[in-house]
């Protein structure tokens, strides 16, 4: 319980993490995205040891359990040892693991706190599932939009106008959402929101050069190939394949990325609309308070 409370407090104390969690809650109300991984402090304090024990017992008896082994092993020997060590009941359960978060309205919320800069998060439903043929097109587009050192967001908001130290986009793959996060001076809040949306429109118009497209593809492919050197990454990839009921190999993913074209990216970004904005705004006198 001490560790759980500490995790909750750390997320609350981190402006960027708190803003991201609140924006997800805002966009995902009534949907999977709105369910927080962590409880509130009040909810955590109400948890009893008996409830924890019952939850684990239920999990072991009823939930789907996948066991992955990575290394130079004999499959039959490992399987026999695992069955002996974990005499679990057989079960065949289908698990819904990917969602498409949707919203019919723009939801905006802000809070004020004594922090050094305003944390801004904007979220866009992508309408693209993790198992969709368009997924790697989306990931490539996100690199150009807000992940490369030469991304549109970084160049326009940071480099040209010095409105932030860092700004980036990310894909919440299992929820079908693209998120944009940055830390800014609160007085520039509306300007930055408009600039972010302008870059999204540029993506929809295909206003990015071929070098950015090639660099985005190369970065993605290299990151995927690098996962072959990390046993944990390899297991995570196999677990994802297991959840989605697919068997994608690295070569197949790399080929999909190489085939991504400008028009496909434009089409995806043209469909996106910002549907949630959360700003954790700095108090105007925060610097005086910290003196």
**pLDDT grade for 290, boundaries at 50, 70 and 90:** very low
Please report the pLDDT score of residue 60 as a whole number.
Answer: 86
**How far is it, in rounded angstroms, from Cα 164 to Cα 48?**
44
Euclidean distance between the first and the last CA atom of the chain, given in angstroms as a whole number: 35
**pLDDT grade for 289, boundaries at 50, 70 and 90:** very low
pTM: 0.91
Encode pLDDT of 112-167 as tens digits.
999 999 999 999 999 999 999 999 999 999 999 999 999 999 999 999 999 999 99
Encode pLDDT of 220-262 as tens digits.
999 988 888 888 988 998 999 888 888 888 899 999 999 999 9
**How far is it, in rounded angstroms, from Cα 23 to Cα 34?**
9
Please report the pLDDT score of residue 291 as a whole number.
Answer: 35
Residue matched to tokens 């002996």: 84
- Name the class of domain 107-290: alpha beta
Could you state, in order of their start, the residue ranges of all structural domains in the chain? 2-85, 107-290
């Amino acid at each position: 319980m001490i560790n759980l409370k500490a995790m909750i407090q750390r997320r609350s104390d981190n402006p960027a993490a708190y803003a991201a969690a609140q924006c997800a809650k805002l966009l995902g109300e009534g949907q999977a995205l709105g369910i927080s991984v962590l409880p509130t402090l009040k909810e955590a304090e109400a948890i009893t040891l008996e409830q924890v024990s019952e939850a684990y017992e239920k999990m072991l008896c009823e939930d789907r359990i996948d066991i992955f082994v990575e290394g130079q092993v004999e499959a039959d020997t490992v399987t026999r040892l695992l069955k002996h060590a974990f005499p679990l009941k057989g079960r065949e359960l289908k698990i819904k693991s990917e969602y498409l978060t949707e919203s019919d309205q723009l939801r905006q919320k802000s809070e004020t706190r004594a922090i050094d800069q305003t944390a801004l998060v904007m979220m866009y439903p992508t309408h693209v599932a993790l198992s969709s043929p368009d997924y790697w097109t989306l990931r490539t587009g996100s690199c150009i939009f807000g992940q490369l050192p030469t991304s549109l967001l970084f160049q326009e908001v940071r480099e040209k106008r010095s409105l932030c130290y860092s700004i980036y986009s990310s894909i919440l793959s299992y929820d079908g959402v693209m998120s944009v996060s940055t830390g800014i001076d609160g007085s520039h809040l509306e300007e930055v929101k408009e600039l972010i949306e302008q870059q999204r429109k540029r993506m929809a118009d295909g206003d990015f050069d071929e070098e950015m497209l090639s660099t985005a593809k190369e970065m993605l492919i290299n990151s995927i190939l690098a996962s072959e050197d990390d046993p944990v990454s390899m297991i995570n990839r196999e677990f994802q394949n297991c959840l989605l009921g697919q068997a994608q190999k690295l070569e197949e993913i790399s080929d999909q990325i190489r085939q991504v074209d400008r028009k496909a990216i434009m089409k995806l970004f043209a469909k996106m609309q910002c549907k949630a904005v959360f700003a954790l705004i700095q108090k105007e006198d925060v610097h005086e308070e910290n003196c």
